[in-house]
Amino acid sequence: MPEIFVVLHNVSSVQKLIDFVKFAFNLDIKYVIVTKIGGVAAQAGVPEASKLAYRMNKTFLVLPDLKDAIELFVPDSTILISQQFDRDFSPDVIKSKKRIMLVFPGIEAGFTKIEQSFGETYKLPLFKGEVPPVASLALISYMLSGEEFKKE
């Protein structure tokens, strides 16, 4: 199984931030990264998420932008997940990789063209409209836990 870094990008909602962080830490993901955080999420969400990280012995990082996260962690592959993209995500996308950065949008607008240029773009199969980041992370985690992926 590759080392996975999850990123919540461009979030301003405290509840969305806390829900995402709690879920990611319960999946036993060691690093949760938030980039381009703003508004109330920056003021009230970051302290709360930091407390959760400390209690659960996890790493929670806040960085200015997605590019900073990529430069710091140097993943083999950066995968942006949004329903605005054409290709479906499947476990085969990351099968041969060792360090994967999964990036989820914190706003419904998804990613800008510049942000899309930082990695590979995929959508979740079966869904028509935008999927909240926690649900997206849950579905991808489920897909990666399948027997096909474990047989590698």
pLDDT of residue 64: 97
What does each C-alpha distance from 55 to 7, 17, 51, 58 come to in angstroms? 20, 17, 6, 8
Cα dihedral sign, 73-51-22-104:
negative
Strands 120-122 and 99-105: unpaired
Which pLDDT belongs to residue 147?
45
* Domains located in the chain, CATH noted: 7-110+118-128 (3.40.1280.10)
Q: pLDDT, tens digit, for every residue of 71-99? A: 999 999 999 999 999 999 999 999 889 99
Do the beta carbons of residue 62 and residue 32 sit within 8 Å? no
pLDDT tens-place string over residues 8-24:
999 999 999 999 999 99
Q: What is the pTM of this model?
A: 0.92
Tens digit of pLDDT for each residue in 32-75?
999 999 999 999 999 999 999 999 999 999 999 999 999 999 99
**Distance of alpha carbon 128 from its chain centroid, rounded?**
20
As a whole number of angstroms, the distance between CA 78 and CA 99 comes to: 9
Element (H, E) at 31: strand 31-35
99-129 per-position pLDDT tens digit: 999 999 999 888 999 999 999 999 999 888 8
Q: What is the mean pLDDT of the chain?
A: 92
